[in-house]
Amino acid sequence: MSRETVTAGPPVASLGSAHDALLILDVDEVILEFIGPFRRLLAEYGAHLSPESFRLTGNVRSLSTGAALTGHELDGITAKLFEEQDQRQPLVAGVAEALARLSGAADIVFLTAMTPSFYPLRRGLLDRNGLHFPMIATERSKGAVVAELAERWAGPLVFADDLPPNLETVRRSAPDVHLLHLMADEAFRPHLPPLPAGAVSAADWPEAEAIIAGWLGCDGRG
Ligand SMILES: [Mg+2]
C-alpha cells in the first residue's frame, strides 16, 4: 500500500538567503544528541545498547534475558524519545558556538528525517537553545531535498549527517555538495560503513567547524 511522504517546515522556495553559501545540517547526532539519550531511555526499559554493527536492531538487548529487542519495540522507544525530546535531547557539545560563527558566512538549514509530526516540539527545543535556523522535517530522500536547495544557493554547499547512506543519497543527487560525517556519540564509530567518495569525517564540532570554514573559504572565527 502506498502512502504519501510527509514533510513539515517551510517550503524550500520560501527560504530566505543572505549568503551564497549554505550549510544543510541533519539534527539527530549532529545538532541534538540522540544515541546518548536513547541509551539512557533504554536503561528505563531494562535494556542496553551494545553495537556490533551499524544499526539499532539486533544491538539492543534486555538486561535480564539478553534477548534482542524487536524493531517494533525499538520504534516505540524511539517515538517516546522524540515525544520527550525537549527533556531528553541536549545540544551536541560546541554546536551553538560553531553555528553562531559559521552563520556569519553561510545560511543554515536543518534537515531531519524525524517523524514530521514531532516538528513543533523540535522547533521549540531548537528555538529555546537559540538555534532559530529554518528546519525541514521530511520522510523524503535527503538527496532530493538537498538538490532542490542547491538550485537556490550558488554555493559552496555543505551537507552534514551521521548516517553514511544519507551522505550517499546527497552525493548522487547533488554531487557538488561538500559532505561531512559527524556523529556525536562514539559507540557506533567502530562499525561505521565506508563513507561515500569525497566525504570527510569530523570527530566533534570544533573539528567540523574548521573543515566547514575551509570549504567556505573563511576561517570561521573571524
Ligand atoms: Mg542523524
What is the torsion angle, in degrees rounded to the nearest 10, for the CA atoms of residue 194, residue 200, residue 204 and residue 209?
A: -160
Q: Residue 72 Cα, ligand 1 centroid: separation in angstroms?
A: 20
Q: Residue 56 Cα, ligand 1 centroid: separation in angstroms?
A: 13
Q: Residue 27 Cα, ligand 1 centroid: separation in angstroms?
A: 6
Q: Residue 163 Cα, ligand 1 centroid: separation in angstroms?
A: 6
Please state whether beta strands 178-182 and 47-49 pair in parallel, antiparallel, or not at all (unpaired).
Answer: unpaired
Q: Residue 171 Cα, ligand 1 centroid: separation in angstroms?
A: 17
Task: Give me the pLDDT at residue 222, please.
Answer: 41
- Average pLDDT, integer, range 31-51: 97
Task: Give me the pLDDT at residue 200, please.
Answer: 98
Lowest mean pLDDT among 1-5, 120-124, 198-202: 1-5
% of the chain at pLDDT higher than 90:
95
Q: Where are the beta strands (DSSP E) in 10-147?
A: 22-25, 47-49, 60-62, 107-112, 135-138
Q: Residue 92 Cα, ligand 1 centroid: separation in angstroms?
A: 12
- Average pLDDT, integer, range 185-199: 94
Q: Residue 28 Cα, ligand 1 centroid: separation in angstroms?
A: 4
Residue 221, pLDDT above cutoff 60: no
Task: Give me the pLDDT at residue 219, please.
Answer: 58
Q: Residue 30 Cα, ligand 1 centroid: separation in angstroms?
A: 6
Looking at per-residue pLDDT, the higher value among 17 and 1 belongs to 17
Residue 2, pLDDT above cutoff 70: no
- Average pLDDT, integer, range 134-156: 96
Q: Residue 183 Cα, ligand 1 centroid: separation in angstroms?
A: 8
> How is the beta sheet containing 7-8 ordered, strand by strand?
7-8, 135-138, 107-112, 22-25, 157-161, 178-182, 200-202
CA dihedral sign of residues 74, 45, 111, 98: negative
Task: Give me the pLDDT at residue 220, please.
Answer: 45
Residue 152, pLDDT above cutoff 90: yes
Q: Which fold has domain 7-33+90-216?
A: Rossmann fold (3.40.50)
20's grid cell: 551564497
Q: Residue 154 Cα, ligand 1 centroid: separation in angstroms?
A: 25
Among 128, 56, 117, residue whose Cα is nearest residue 83: 117
Q: What is the pLDDT of residues 66-115, one digit of tens each?
A: 999 999 999 999 999 999 999 999 999 999 999 999 999 999 999 999 99
Q: Residue 185 Cα, ligand 1 centroid: separation in angstroms?
A: 11
Q: Residue 186 Cα, ligand 1 centroid: separation in angstroms?
A: 13
% of the chain at pLDDT higher than 70:
96
Question: Where are the domains positioned within the chain?
Answer: 7-33+90-216, 35-87
